[in-house]
Amino acid sequence: MATPLRYALIFLLWAMVAVIYAPLIPAALTLISPALSLTHWQALFADPQLPQALLATLVSTTIAAVGALLIALLVIVALWPGPKWQRMCARLPWLLAIPHVAFATSALLLFADGGLLYDYFPYFTPPMDRFGIGLGLTLAVKESAFLLWILAAVLSEKWLLQQVIVLDSLGYSRWQCLNWLLLPSVAPALAMAMLAIVAWSLSVVDVAIILGPGNPPTLAVISWQWLTQGDIDQQTKGALASLLLMLLLAAYVLLSYLLWRSW
């Protein structure tokens, strides 16, 4: 009796997923059809904004992903396990609840020329950020909370805590515990969380408008600008830029897989 019910629930789940994503099929066809023309690709790569926008996108995304991972791992090494880790986990929803635009605006008001730090340090003038470094650092801080929230569920496993206690009693350092035990244990959850962080960092528009380079902006912002114009040629370039972002995501996934295999 339980098996037929299970299959019925699985079918219902997939039906709900189909209802949600079925309307995207015509949009996907519209997105893919311009990619079949070499002329459209030549027009995209001939745009003078593309090289700098692509570079800013790669720099900001790499800083966001690597920075979020490093912050999360440093917090885990410093606080887990213990009461400080529990208090930090209890405060994570506060940071997760802050909208990205509000977080980015706060960073802008703090570090921008004429911001709060400028009042105390008038000679502190941030250089022109053409590569999206500030954008990447802001995303790294914000997304580290999401990464910690995902990993907290895995680190709450009792057997993992017991093995860490055993390694500590044998004299192993926290970094050895991280390298030999924690990273292999959290790898599945970490991989999916990092995929979400990279995908979001590549495609973010609102935060990139606030903190990213202005002229040219990141590739996601340019794609959004092209797609919202009335000119069909510009919309085609926007569609191809969106596909280019998907190819970049696939490249990040492949590179991460190769690095993990070599590690």
Question: So where are the chain's domains?
Answer: 49-262
pLDDT at 128: 77
> pLDDT tens digits, residue range 227-240?
898 788 898 999 99
pLDDT at 229: 87
Options 3.40.50.880, 3.40.228.10, 2.60.40.10, 1.10.3720.10; CATH of 49-262: 1.10.3720.10
- CA-to-CA separations, 19 to 6, 12, 15, 100, 187, in angstroms, rounded: 20, 11, 6, 29, 32
pLDDT at 126: 67
**Low-confidence spans in the chain with pLDDT less than 70:** 1-3, 122-126, 158-161, 168, 174, 178-180, 263
3-state secondary structure labels for all residues of 158-210? HHHHHHHHHHHHCCCCHHHHHHHHHHHHHHHHHHHHHHHHHHHHHHCCHHHHH
> pLDDT tens digits, residue range 170-200?
777 767 776 667 777 777 888 889 999 999 9
pLDDT at 25: 81
- Residues 165/181, Cβ–Cβ less than 8 Å: no
pLDDT at 3: 65
Q: Of 217, 216, 218, 237, which is closest to residue 228 (Cα–Cα)?
A: 237
Q: Quick one: tokens of 231?
A: 């000119």
